[in-house]
Structure 1
Amino acid sequence: MALDDATTGTLARKLISVIREELQKSINSEISDSLIATHLLTTSTSEVAGHLEVIEPGIEREDLHGIIERAISVLSPGSGIVFSEGETPNWIQVSIVHDGRTPLKNVADYRWIRLSTIDEVVPSVALGAQDDSRSWGWNLKVKTNKGDVYWASDRTFKGRLIDLAQLRVMNAIERAVKAENQPAALSKHA
């Protein structure tokens, strides 16, 4: 039986605590949330299952993925996607895609592109050796109507967390396109 949302959240927080304690023992210093998030992103699902066995024996695989995704979203909230300010953003900050690389976080690679020029929003596998795609790490690309490809975020997403980021960009594109295609308001001086 699938875990409810509250139980998933409770187990995610307990998982974070167990991993923090184990990492502190091996590193012998204070452990940041981003280090734990990276650990969860790059560690195999079966190894994380071992951490969870200490807390809650017999977790089902589907629930395990949900707990891992929740823990990552608690440790590193948000999507890293940056839109222009305003009621309806028209621009998104992106970075240049370098072949064979995940986002480099190089200041010279960042650009602002108009949301209405984006034709495709494409998840791209960044980490994935297991058979189950829920264990993979994903980055998000956007492709413009001129064929240019950019990273929409520097963040790597685990499993289904990529779906939320992809949906966020697609909704912003839709709102921007609708706003651009609205007729201009009539002048009161006419």
Structure 2
Amino acid sequence: MPLSFTSKSHGNIAFGFFNIESDMLLLEKYFFFADDFCEWINQMTKQDDVGLKSLQCKVYYIADPNDIGDLMGAIHGMLFTGFIGKLYTLFPFPDDPKAFKQNPEGFKTREVVKSYIESFSAIKDISIEIYKDGQAKIGPYLFDKSVFHELIRYVWQGGYPCWKNEVRPEYVMGMKESIQKSRNSFFKGVFSS
């Protein structure tokens, strides 16, 4: 389930997983797979500690909120509009609340998810930037360091409701390892206070 995070540029924005059988993340109108996010973080951790760091990334962009769909309507099985609604017709919200856990094998549904989102979206280039002053930007969204760290921890935890059986995908484990080995001061404290 996406959560609200405070950006410095746009106020509260939604970020997170939105279907437990897919490893796709949303950031407002931008959609990308969790392994891409982890790889972007891995690349950023390898950059040195001097000046602006920028990484160009391709994402799916859905301009019209109607084409995104109604997440709460889809979760409750009442309204299946847009991309999210279409995805929930294939992967509905579980009847048993205990089954509400993020599937660490969500990557196995990727081809289906891609085929669904491609009819609602356009591919867009965005940049992820880390500034020397401790701020970071994903596309148009500017975050302070602590909130950007929260985004990383959200993916590490499997969002809300967390990873099924507490099993994380390898790409998530690799992201944590890269962060822990990084000499870039921006990533200090992601997994410790």
**TM-score, length-normalised on structure 2?**
0.26
Higher relative contact order (CA 8 A, sep 6+): 2
Answer 1 or 2: which has greater helix percent: 1
**TM-score, length-normalised on structure 1?**
0.26
